[in-house]
Amino acid sequence: MIDLKTRLQSQNEHAVPGAVQKAHARVLKGLDAEIAKLEDAIVVTVKATPAFAARAEIIESVPGLAETASAVFIAGLPELGTVREEIAAALLGAAPYDDDSGKRRGERHIKGRRRWVRNALYMPCLGAATQNNPVLKAFYQRLIAKGKEPKVALIACMRKLIVILNTMIARGEKWDPSRYALR
């Protein structure tokens, strides 16, 4: 539904007759209402399920992550807390894969896996790494200072975040900035 909403909003940027714009506005209003209903149902389901509620509480204790991010993690990465950190990063699609062949050493790229989870977490991770989370912010700024491109640094922060969350969920611990501070 969000993809459909985005496409309709993009189409509204182009010159179309007034009747079409009004039709788009009505459809967008209906989509907003349906998305809100689904989001409310998700919140109710998470709160009503004790295992989900416990995970959500741990995830939401991380500065920069809220209900939407915790719902995405719960639905998209149910393995969190039960797998090794390399696997958690690979499942998210934030693990760098090589492009080497013979003597040629190609660039590292992220790819595949649960792209929809990675896409959904892009903006929360951006906010955490640049504003809300002191640990990720320091890590992000250190990578930028080393000359990394901003998106490369952000994906590295995403990978670090998923590793931290995997550990937190496995231990049943809430966010403790002193534990994950850069050394």
Question: SS3 breakdown of the chain: % helix, strand, coil, rounded to 5?
Answer: 70, 0, 30
Question: What integer pLDDT is reported at residue 171 of this predicted model?
Answer: 92
DSSP string, 92-144: HT-S-B---BTTB----B---SSHHHHHHHHHHHHHIIIII-HHHHHHHHHHH
The reply to whether the predicted model has a pTM over 0.95 is no
Question: What integer pLDDT is reported at residue 111 of this predicted model?
Answer: 66
- CA 18, 19, 21, 22 dihedral sign is positive
Residue 49 CA to residue 52 CA, distance in Å, equals: 5
Residue 128 CA to residue 89 CA, distance in Å, equals: 18
Question: What integer pLDDT is reported at residue 177 of this predicted model?
Answer: 80
Query: Which tokens sit at 113?
Result: 């896996």
Q: Which residues contact 65 (CB under 8 A, 6 or more apart)?
A: 59, 124, 128
Question: What integer pLDDT is reported at residue 182 of this predicted model?
Answer: 64
Residue 14 CA to residue 34 CA, distance in Å, equals: 25
Segment-wise mean pLDDT, segments of 10 residues, the chain, 183 residues:
80 74 86 90 89 92 88 88 86 73 72 77 89 90 94 90 92 86 64
Across the strands, what pairs with 109? 97
Question: What integer pLDDT is reported at residue 20 of this predicted model?
Answer: 80
Question: What integer pLDDT is reported at residue 166 of this predicted model?
Answer: 93
Question: What integer pLDDT is reported at residue 89 of this predicted model?
Answer: 83
